[in-house]
Structure 1
Amino acid sequence: MSTTQSERLRGLLEPLVSAKNLDLEEVELSRAGRRRVLRIVVDSDDGVDLDECAELSRTISTTLDETDAMGEDEYQLEVTSPGAERPLTEHRHYVRAVGRLARFQLPEGELVARILAVDDEGLDVEVPGVKGRKPTARRLEFAQIAKARVELEFSRKDKKEEEA
């Protein structure tokens, strides 16, 4: 997608997404055969459920139909959340991932650790112990992190379960 079209779509969609108290994470336009696919990724501090995605999809679809932002060609609209193994690219992503296990690409290699706290400079993590050893605390500065992604955990308790 051209930068101009990307910026135009983002400018058009940002107020619609914000009005639903959601963050616009990504706007991606790609080809699937003869058809184009417009994929909109949204999130919030509390996550996004299917009903919110469906409601936002209807709002976006109506707005796109009323404008020429997508041109005359057919397209498929997808409104989704970032998913279980979401990349961490913004400060708010790290804040939302507190308590979660994440995989970090650092200058010295890869690190898997649980995010304990986040501030403006970086984050405090807990590196799981190996072979019966206790977990260790570590500080990561944002400048050290080349890439980060939430790790999928099948045995992790949900925030709602922990609060109960």
Structure 2
Amino acid sequence: MANQWQQTVAQTVAGMGYELVDVERSAGGMLRLTIDWPWDPDQPQPRFITVDDCERVTRQLQYVLEVEGVDYRRLEVGSPGIDRPLRTPRDYERFVGEVVELTLRAPIGSAGAGLAAPARRKFRGVLQRGQAPGAWQLELLPPESPRPGKVGARKAPPAAETVQVLGFTLDEVREARLAPVVDFSGRRTRGSAQPQQ
């Protein structure tokens, strides 16, 4: 029965022109939905969910949930935010080239993989398509260099870095989400080195 109302919610959201990213139901009766605009690879600028979008979907879903007889105390509709989860193959296609935090279902040891830490599940890097169909890669980011004033800040610069790449399929992923990259010097376009004016 629960699956049926979730399908109805997803159909309602899609019928309004949005994409249902996530549904979370808490024990206290809170029903939290995350919506986004569907991805259009031909659209040059991304669209962002506004408060008006959330209010519009909330009003429609209140009616739908009442008709479906769904028991809940409070409905909250929001946008995915800067740490948006990646769940479908289309999400991965959409965010190729972006920094992603990835948690695997099973740990990967260092033997043969060229990775620094044994039994590691969590990785952070730039998402890329793999060579084979259904395969993905994460170009692992080096550990962050210490900030000035921190221990190790005056050490000699490291030798040329080799890029470590983690290959994976979606079946191996427990959780993936965009890694928040906050830049207070101004909004930058993808791949741009200069802030937008």
Same fold (TM over 0.5): yes
Normalised by the size of structure 2, how large is the TM-score? 0.62
The residue type equivalent to 1:123 in the other structure is W
The counterpart of 1:122, out of the listed 132, 135, 141, is 135
* Bigger Rg, which one: 2
SS of the aligned residue for 2:126 comes to strand
Equivalence map 1:91-106=2 (5 Å): 91-106=89-104
Say yes or no: does 1:69 pair with 2:65.
no
Normalised by the size of structure 1, how large is the TM-score? 0.72
Say yes or no: does 1:49 pair with 2:73.
no
- Give the corresponding residue for 1:39: 32
1:29-80: CA deviation from partner (whole Å, max 9, x where unpaired): 2243xxx211122233246412222211111112223x14224xx6211112
Moved over 6 A (4+): none
Q: Matched residues in 2 for 1:68 and 1:144: separation? A: 35
- Give the corresponding residue for 1:13: 9
- Give the corresponding residue for 1:138: 165
The verdict on how the C-alpha distance between 1:91 and 1:127 changes in structure 2, with shifts beyond 3 A counting, is same
The verdict on how the C-alpha distance between 1:148 and 1:28 changes in structure 2, with shifts beyond 3 A counting, is closer
Asked if the contact 1:129/1:135 (under 8 Å) is kept, the reply is no
| Distance apart, 1:20 and its partner CA | 2.3
Give the share of equivalent positions with the same residue, in percent. 20
Q: Which has the higher helix share?
A: 1
